[in-house]
């Protein structure tokens, strides 16, 4: 398993190719940069002096028998690939997809339990109708194509974690509109079931690239609200505002900044949970008493892992 790789290991493993790009060294020799994956994680690899017949068979979406050596480059493990042979026997690609380590039953209990706590008819009605139509996708999809919660069930894991933080904050700040905040958390990333292609070889869809999950979710809420005659109610306006503002800044994709307390809290919880997940993943693959590689999504900083 990739998460068990250590520097200087010699490996021969069945791995899923998720990305392939060709390059040429300064000396003019061709090579391939390959991202490989199994259920435990991903690793970058290099196949130097690549042969034309290898270029033809190494493709994203294929399971290969990969042999090579584990190296450390810029504080990150990397594979020097000796060979990658296509696997002819039938192997379920889902066996190579990283999945949440939280049982689905626990995620469902947290999320459906939170829906049941919403007392306001409009907030609960919008949330319940959206979940009734798309709950299967919600519990399967990742929350992103990379960076945070980028695995099967990642979207539900992210939302369940945010709900746990929210309950703590609401207990200490009872003046907050808990119905609004809970509804906003449940729906803030729901548009990703259209923005992303799914949990296997996750890519951005055409709709995801051209519209984005914020605008997609805005439309979904309006459609549900109009269907029920709620489109002009304050609750619909406030819930829509939380969706539009949840990235917190214009440069991060929000068309409007948070202007109600619950929108501000949603942005903070969302950011906190995403950052913690990125830190956890990076430190898991960092040896004690060393620094991690720079994390682009965390202001390109390195983090030290204590012993």
Domain that holds residue 88: 2-95
The candidate with the shortest Cα–Cα distance to 16, out of 39, 38, 34, is 38
Please identify, among 95, 119, 139, the residue that sits at the C-terminal boundary of a domain: 95
In this structure, are 120 and 249 located in the same domain? yes
Claim to verify: residue 126 and residue 89 sit in the same structural domain? no
110 in the same domain as 77: no
Looking at residue 164, what is its pLDDT?
Answer: 96
In percent, the amount of the chain with pLDDT more than 70 equals: 100
Q: Would the pLDDT of 120 be above 90?
A: yes
pLDDT at res. 119: 97
Q: Do residues 46 and 127 share a domain?
A: no
We report the CATH number of the domain holding residue 81 as 2.40.50.140
- CA–CA separation, 204 and 181 (whole Å): 28
17 and 132: one domain? no
Which among 26, 60, 95 is the end of a domain? 95
pLDDT tens sequence across 43-75: 899 999 888 888 888 888 888 899 999 998 877
* Residues 6 and 64 both lie in one domain: yes
Nearest to 74 by CA among 34, 47, 44, 49: 44
CA distances from 217 to 10, 194, 197, 265, 300 (A): 47, 9, 16, 19, 30
For residues 90 and 105, state if they share a domain: no
In which band, very low, low, confident or very high, does the pLDDT at 29 lie, cut at 50, 70 and 90?
Answer: confident
């Amino acid at each position: 398993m990739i998460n068990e790789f250590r520097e200087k290991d010699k490996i021969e493993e069945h791995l899923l190719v998720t990305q392939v790009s060709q390059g040429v060294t300064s000396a003019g020799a061709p090579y391939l940069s390959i991202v490989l994956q199994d259920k435990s994680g991903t690793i970058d690899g290099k196949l130097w002096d690549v042969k034309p017949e290898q270029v033809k068979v190494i493709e994203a979406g294929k399971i290969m028998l990969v042999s090579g050596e584990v190296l450390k480059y810029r504080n990150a493990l990397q594979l020097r690939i000796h060979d990658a042979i296509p696997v002819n026997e039938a192997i379920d690609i889902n066996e190579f997809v990283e999945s949440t380590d939280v049982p689905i039953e626990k995620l469902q209990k947290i999320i459906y339990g939170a829906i049941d706590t919403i007392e306001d008819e409009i907030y609960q009605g919008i949330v319940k109708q959206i979940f009734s139509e798309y709950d299967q996708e919600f519990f399967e999809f990742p929350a992103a194509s990379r960076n945070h919660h980028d695995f099967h069930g990642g979207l539900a894991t992210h939302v369940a974690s945010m709900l746990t933080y929210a309950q703590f904050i609401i207990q200490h700040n009872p003046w907050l509109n808990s119905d609004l905040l809970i509804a906003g958390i449940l729906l803030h990333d729901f548009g990703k079931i259209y923005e992303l292609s799914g949990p296997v070889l996750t890519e951005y869809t055409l709709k995801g690239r051209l519209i984005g999950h914020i605008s997609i979710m805005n439309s979904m809420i309006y459609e549900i609200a109009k269907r029920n005659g709620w489109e002009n109610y304050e609750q619909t306006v406030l819930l829509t505002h939380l969706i539009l503002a949840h990235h917190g800044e214009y440069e991060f994709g929000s068309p409007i900044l948070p202007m109600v307390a619950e929108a501000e809290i949603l942005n903070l919880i969302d950011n906190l949970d995403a950052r913690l997940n990125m830190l956890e993943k990076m430190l898991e693959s960092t040896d004690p008493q060393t620094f991690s590689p720079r994390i682009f999504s965390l202001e390109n900083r390195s983090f030290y892992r204590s012993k």
